[in-house]
Structure 1
Amino acid sequence: MPAGSSPKRERQYEHIKESELDRGAGEDRAEEIAARTVNKERARAGESRTASRTSTRDMSSGERGGRRSGKGAQGPTYDQLYNEARQRGIHGRSDMNKEQLQRALDKKK
């Protein structure tokens, strides 16, 4: 958390971090998610010096509620599949569409 953050934002950060740890995220990932979420909320509320267009104009993280998590009816997004394929070292991924990426990842498991 940035220095000078309000007690409310500190509590929010800790709550989100604990929730992510309970979900099974690693310590570093939980801290990253908590920091990003709190920073976005600070930007939306005008509490930060700078704010990206996405932070101020996009739906709030609370409203979004996991809509973009990749676990909805259509599964992960193409970008999520592509990044996972890159991490697993799947060759030819740039020529694959979403369905092909999913099949390649399923085979690699």
Structure 2
Amino acid sequence: MMPQQAWSKKRERQYEHIKESAQDRGTGEERAEEIASRTVNKERARSGEAKQRSRSSVKDVSSGHRGGKRSHQGPGGPTKEQLYNEAKQRGVEGRSTMSKAELAKALGR
């Protein structure tokens, strides 16, 4: 199953590989599909294949290299930019002048 028409054959293979890997680790099929499609879409944005892209898609460490480094556990947790993007999605007022700690507090972390 391929959720996107704009994907190349390479991206289809990448999607299937990521989905299978997630399922091998015990992730449910629906969640595995979400992880795979988000990863493929992020990689498409990084390489200029997608029409839209987020700042973190382009400037952040690549999905393959990151490999769970920011799975929201242990020291550090999400980056300030990730918190900012979440605050933006939730419509948090005054987010542009907040520190990482203030963003985390505003998001209820």
Q: TM-score range by the shorter chain?
A: 0.5 to 0.7
| TM-score after normalising by structure 2 | 0.64
What CA RMSD, in Å, does the superposition of the two structures yield over aligned residues?
2.4
CA deviation digits over 1:43-82, x for unaligned, max 9?
Answer: 00000000011111111001111101246xx37949xxxx
Within a 5 Å distance, the mapping from 1:74-85 to structure 2 comes to: 74=74, 77=77
- Which residue pairs with 2:9 in the alignment? 7
Alignment of 1:1-109 (within 5 A): 1-70=3-72, 74=74, 77=77
* Partner SS for 2:61: coil
Q: TM-score, with normalisation over the residues of structure 1?
A: 0.64
Q: How many residues align?
A: 79
**Percent identity for Structure 1 against Structure 2:** 60
Structure 1 alignment gaps of length 5 or more: 79-93, 99-109
Give the 4+ runs in structure 1 shifted more than 2 A.
74-78
